[in-house]
Structure 1
Amino acid sequence: MKRTIIALILFLCGSLHFPAFAEDALDIAILEYPPYEYTVNGEFHGVSVRLVEAVFQRIEQPIKLQVLPWSRALKFMKEGRIDGLIEVLVVPERLAYMDFSQIVLMEERITLFVVEDSPITFDGDLTALSQFHFGGRQDFSYGTIFDKAIADKVIKRLSIDVEFDTLLLKLCTGDIDILIGEKDTIHYASSRIKVLQNTSIKRCKNIKRLSPIIQTTSAYMAFSKVNQLTHVRDSFDEALSEMKRDGSYEKIIEAWWRESSL
């Protein structure tokens, strides 16, 4: 009888879903989104990756990083097939399946890019650019201002793609007029342009950044609600806040930019 009861208890314990504890590595996804998160020869890089790794190390929570296309990463977060996602903007529909950190991970500056000899200028008013053909990444939010311009049909022509390089190629060869992205993406884009100039059948022009920026947006660490990780999120927030107070947050950012500029 005792063996039967023990067996039943073990079976029930194995059937229940328990939140992850420190000894369980969390599956954290990134996308190819330099300078914040990206890979080089299979190794993970980026200023946000560096910060997130430091936070999880501080709370002694192991993680496993993987690269996913953005749309698939969102789907996996809904299903609980991954535990977390780095560098996410808060939009209403994501609140249904993501637990967002309450502490800002990074501030992104949403910017427009054009080819170097483009006559297009920008004074901060997107309605003045409504006749042009834009490019952006699939399922991305570029902040409330640009997202509203799309919803209100101020931006009438938008080509979307899952790959930044595809959009960059469309811009530099003239298939789109304007590419929307993050301000510091230009550092990565310049090196990719050189590759595209050597491999593209069409002539690929250099690109430039338009000023002013459209909007500064806050990006956060997000956790899958399905996997019941609010306790990890709270520990993450506490550690990230502590890093901002003790100066290690800024030191990591400064060190990353110094190393990446070499």
Structure 2
Amino acid sequence: MRLSVLVLSGLLALLMRPSAAEISVVLASQEDFKPYEWREGDQIKGFDVDIVQEMARRLDWKVEIKLYPWKRVLHEIAAGSVDGGFSAFRTREREEYAIFLDPPIHLSTYCVFVNPERPIVFYSLEDLDGKVLGKNLGFSINSEFDHAQKRGRFEVIEKSMSHNLRLLAAQRIDAVIGNALEVDYMARELGLEEKIEGLPTKVASDTPAHLIISRKSPLAKDPELLKLMEETLRHMLEDGTYAALLKKYQ
């Protein structure tokens, strides 16, 4: 009798699990973060967007992507207003309200960018003392940089990357701290390649940026669905899909 109950319970669980075509996921991400994600007319574009949409296509899931300022993205995920988001650095605080999936969506390389007409030297954070820097609003570089910023060792102007690069080109700030792919892409788009130069020493080691799932989402309560998402991302990385999609933005 007990075996029959267990078998019946298992069958009911299978019947109650939604089919792939019935699964709809709402994800949030940073607005105006070229080339990773941005809105163009009624379309949402970008490398990270391509990765997420390809994952959903392979799973036969429906995915809706919403773009907000980054602080709101994290708030929506923590509140469970969306199923998850991308692309987030792993921190203890974020792990309290979100599950981080592997492999990451991309690796972020943060560098110092200067105007070659007024260059500075950078080998360590001490070289930035007293400087005026630009970086993306709401973005964390790493704990060492964030701590130095809080101590006031340098002034940081937190605006959009396009705004910061224009300030640098006009020599109104000393440097921009930014994601290398983002800065290179934006400098080309703004026609500022001759005014923007990356320094060889990285501000931080390459940092993984992940697809994360809100712990308040139904997805978080289904380990099999989370495993499917991770396996699909892993296959995309191994079969060259990541690299092929990235070429569009380099």
**What range is the shorter-chain TM-score in?**
0.7 to 0.9
**Partner in structure 2 of residue 64 of structure 1:** 64
State how far apart, in whole Å, the 1-side matches of 2:19 and 2:172 are. Answer: 49
Residues 37-76 of structure 1: pairs in structure 2 closer than 5 A: 37-76=37-76
State the Cα deviation string for residues 181-200 of structure 1 (Å, max 9, x = none). 11112332224433xx8xxx
**Partner in structure 2 of residue 7 of structure 1:** none
State how far apart, in whole Å, the 2-side matches of 1:29 and 1:85 are. Answer: 4
Matched letter for residue 33 of structure 1: F
State how far apart, in whole Å, the 2-side matches of 1:25 and 1:207 are. Answer: 42
The 3-state SS of whatever aligns with 2:216 is helix
Tell me if structure 1 keeps the 8 A contact 2:87–2:210. yes
The 3-state SS of whatever aligns with 1:33 is coil
- Structure 1 residue 221: deviation in Å? 0.3
State how far apart, in whole Å, the 1-side matches of 2:119 and 2:28 are. Answer: 39
Tell me if structure 2 keeps the 8 A contact 1:29–1:82. yes
**Partner in structure 2 of residue 11 of structure 1:** none
2:242 aligned with 1:238, yes or no?
no
- Structure 1 residue 148: deviation in Å? 4.0
Tell me if structure 1 keeps the 8 A contact 2:121–2:127. no
**Partner in structure 2 of residue 122 of structure 1:** 122
Residues 87-106 of structure 1: pairs in structure 2 closer than 5 A: 87-106=87-106
Residues 206-245 of structure 1: pairs in structure 2 closer than 5 A: 206-215=195-204, 216-230=206-220, 231=222, 232-245=225-238
State how far apart, in whole Å, the 2-side matches of 1:252 and 1:168 are. Answer: 28
State how far apart, in whole Å, the 2-side matches of 1:233 and 1:74 are. Answer: 19
CA RMSD between the two structures: 2.6
Q: Which range moves more in the overlay, 108-117 or 21-30?
A: 21-30
Matched letter for residue 223 of structure 1: I
Matched letter for residue 210 of structure 1: L
State the Cα deviation string for residues 228-253 of structure 1 (Å, max 9, x = none). 422343321121123333x1xx2342
Tell me if structure 2 keeps the 8 A contact 1:19–1:229. no
State how far apart, in whole Å, the 1-side matches of 2:61 and 2:172 are. Answer: 45
Residues 49-198 of structure 1: pairs in structure 2 closer than 5 A: 49-123=49-123, 125-151=124-150, 153=151, 155-161=153-159, 163-194=160-191
Tell me if structure 1 keeps the 8 A contact 2:102–2:234. no
Q: Which runs of 5+ in 1 are unaligned?
A: 1-17, 198-204
The 3-state SS of whatever aligns with 1:213 is strand
- Structure 1 residue 133: deviation in Å? 1.0
Tell me if structure 1 keeps the 8 A contact 2:134–2:158. yes
Q: Which range moves more in the overlay, 178-187 or 227-236?
A: 227-236
State how far apart, in whole Å, the 1-side matches of 2:37 and 2:18 are. Answer: 24
State TM-score, norm by structure 1.
0.77
State how far apart, in whole Å, the 2-side matches of 1:191 and 1:40 are. Answer: 17
Tell me if structure 1 keeps the 8 A contact 2:132–2:175. yes
Tell me if structure 1 keeps the 8 A contact 2:102–2:233. no
Matched letter for residue 103 of structure 1: P
Residues 15-30 of structure 1: pairs in structure 2 closer than 5 A: 22=20, 23-30=22-29
Matched letter for residue 92 of structure 1: R
State how far apart, in whole Å, the 2-side matches of 1:19 and 1:183 are. Answer: 42
State how far apart, in whole Å, the 2-side matches of 1:235 and 1:60 are. Answer: 11
How many pairs are equivalent? 229
State the Cα deviation string for residues 91-124 of structure 1 (Å, max 9, x = none). 221112111113222111111112231221212x
State the Cα deviation string for residues 189-239 of structure 1 (Å, max 9, x = none). 224433xx8xxxxxxx82211112222111110111122422343321121
